[in-house]
Structure 1
Amino acid sequence: MTALDLTFACLDYDRTRALQDGRVRPEGIALNFLPLPVEETFFRQLKHHEFDVAEMSLSSYVLTLDRPDPPFVAIPVFPSRYFRHQSIYVNTGSGVTRPEDLAGKRVGVPEYQITAGVWQRGMLADEYGVDPFSVRYFTGGVETPGRSEKIALDLPDGVSVRPIGPSETLSAMLADGSLDAVMSASVPSSFGRSPQVKRLFDDPKAAERDYYARTGIFPIMHTVVVRRELLDRHPWVARSLTKAFEESLRIAYDDLRYRSALKVMLPWLDDHVAETVSALGEDWWTYGLEPNRHVLEVFLRYSFEQGLAKKQRRPEELFAASAGSAYTI
């Protein structure tokens, strides 16, 4: 059987590297791995459907399902996860000293629909009572002017979202006090340079560990999507890819635990892995629907409550049925 040639765009992660270098080959597939920055991948896939398989923002993917003819189907693979307490920055003159103080404030976000923002707004609502509709959101580039939403939004009345000026950036506006806070996946350059900019949480690591201990949520940022027309023709591709991603993940776990030499440039890697296992458990990074059901349910609730998704979906609605079950460490 001739292998099916597929393009796959994704950031160069440790958990996908075995797919990139050929140590893992999906059954029946010749995978052309394109290591691209996440924002480039998202833009090109959402606008032009350029790749057969692509890493995709979980939020953006969920919103594509509201289209009359959704272009993608996901498989239960999550190449990016991230706690986002550490990614909320405030101006020291804003009067924001506690999460609760964000109610009614001016908060910058690169895009209202980005996954990090959905998680942050949801966490602030659930944990600190900050009504997302009480905040005034301003969208634009963190460092480069001119960023706009990759997906056209149809938000309900009561959601305040406005673009910043064509020459403005969120980082500069946070430093000069034009914004009270910024929620961003990337670190604003004004953080560390301006004495007016600090993190909302003084000890974000402690806050994130406590959050996980209470909620069991290690937020999912990205999933992997396949062009729907491709899966319609070749439904077996979903399971073949899922198995390959599982194996590549297992190799990454093994590399982190290898001790004859350091495969990662962290001199106290053993301590870091032990600390992570203590806080999150042995299988802290899992693929598959069932191990991640609770995390996905919470995210889907947030997307709907924040006026993004038009319906509150169930996790089963996100993934190709032919993907099957996934390996858990």
Structure 2
Amino acid sequence: MDIPRLRIVLGNHAHVHPLKRGEVRSDLVDLDFIDYTPTNAAFKPMVREQAFDVCEMAIVTYLMAKAHRKPLVLLPAVMLGRFQHAYAIYNSERGTIGSGDLQGKRVGIRSFTTTTGAWIRGILTNDYGVDLDEIHWVTFEDPHVAEYRDMTERAAEGKSIIQMLLNGELDAVLGETSSDPRLKPLFSDPAAEAARWFVKHGVFPVNHLVVVTEKLARERPDIVREVYRLLKQSKAKAGQAAVPDPVPFGVEANRKSLELIIDYAAQQSLIPRRFTVDDLFDETTRELN
């Protein structure tokens, strides 16, 4: 029997290097790696056209895709996780802005539906009491899920988010970092505030996981399990253990983080209702640990 060959998009993460280099192999499936730079450019064709068999995907994009019944299934394999507090900046030349000073301000973000944006807005409103409805949001890209109705102001074609911040056209920006000395973190000590947030919530925020097409999951659950095994083996071979683990594998290892981002996405009307964590998986992937 011919071995199926899957089209797959994964970012250039340390824990997938062994798989991409062919150091982790399978007798059941071949993987045809498709290069997308940046990786998030692959999310839109995956959501809208199921352009690949397997694809890295931001968790909020997946939640929105599920809400609109896109034929995708989640694997509990994290490709990117990070604390979010460092990804909010302002221009110090125009005065000091703190986390509680955003109401009434113009805040830029690549797309309103980015996962980093959802995490930071959730932190701002739930931990710092910021009224998100009192912020004027300026965006630069369409959502990956076409059905979402984006009510934000769209920046003029060709405008740069960082340059707009430097020019004073924006008061702050989410989802970006910069080495420009004029641009300072919105949270005065991002590492310390992230550490306090972790103690409070016990969550390491997940950004990107992996999805497969519903067709593959329905027709070849054995292949789906094999893809997960390969990803997990690649992570083990990379040998980059950390505590807390920024890229946990398994439903239970990700449950608290997924519960919180579901809450944030629902609060921000990115999804029409709260899913349970188990809702995000199918019969096969729900058992993966």
Question: TM-score normalized by structure 1?
Answer: 0.81
Distance, in Å, in 2 between the alignment partners of 1:15 and 1:35 is 17
SS at match of 1:99: coil
Name the count of aligned residue pairs: 288
The counterpart of 1:148, out of the listed 142, 147, 151, is 142
CA contact (8 A) 1:74 1:223 kept: yes
SS at match of 2:104: coil
CA contact (8 A) 2:91 2:171 kept: yes
Q: Deviations over 1:36-89 (max 9, x none)?
A: 32122223323432211000111111111122x422111111101111110101
Structure 1 residue 123, shift from structure 2 partner: 0.8
Other-structure match for 1:85: 85
Other-structure match for 1:59: 60
Distance, in Å, in 1 between the alignment partners of 2:35 and 2:127 is 37
SS at match of 1:120: helix
Other-structure match for 1:286: 248
Which protein, 1 or 2, shows the higher relative CO under an 8 Å CA cutoff with sep ≥ 6?
Answer: 2
Q: Deviations over 1:276-317 (max 9, x none)?
A: 54xx3xx45311111111110010011111011011101111
- The 5 A counterparts of 1:124-139 are 124-139=124-139
Change (3 A) 1:234 1:320: same
Change (3 A) 1:284 1:108: closer
Q: Deviations over 1:239-272 (max 9, x none)?
A: 21122211111112x2x47xxxxxxxxxxxxxxx
Distance, in Å, in 1 between the alignment partners of 2:286 and 2:91 is 47
Other-structure match for 1:205: 191
> Are positions 1:17 and 2:12 aligned together?
no
Distance, in Å, in 2 between the alignment partners of 1:24 and 1:53 is 17
Structure 1 residue 324, shift from structure 2 partner: 5.2
User: CA RMSD, aligned part only?
Assistant: 2.1
Change (3 A) 1:246 1:175: same
Change (3 A) 1:166 1:285: closer
> Are positions 1:312 and 2:274 aligned together?
yes
Distance, in Å, in 1 between the alignment partners of 2:115 and 2:6 is 26
CA contact (8 A) 1:9 1:53 kept: yes
Amino-acid identity (%): 27
SS at match of 1:101: coil
Amino acid at match of 2:112: Y
> Are positions 1:183 and 2:174 aligned together?
yes
Answer with 299-308 or 317-326: which moved more. Answer: 317-326
Change (3 A) 1:210 1:75: same
Q: Deviations over 1:104-161 (max 9, x none)?
A: 2110000000100000000111110112222111001xxxxxx333323545xxx961
Other-structure match for 1:44: 45
CA contact (8 A) 1:12 1:35 kept: no
Structure 1's unaligned 5+ residue stretches are 141-146, 258-275
SS at match of 1:151: coil
Answer with 283-292 or 101-110: which moved more. Answer: 283-292
CA contact (8 A) 2:47 2:70 kept: no
Amino acid at match of 1:292: N
Structure 2's unaligned 5+ residue stretches are none
CA contact (8 A) 2:86 2:177 kept: no
Question: TM-score normalized by structure 2?
Answer: 0.91
SS at match of 2:100: helix
The counterpart of 2:162, out of the listed 171, 185, 194, is 171
The counterpart of 2:204, out of the listed 198, 218, 241, is 218
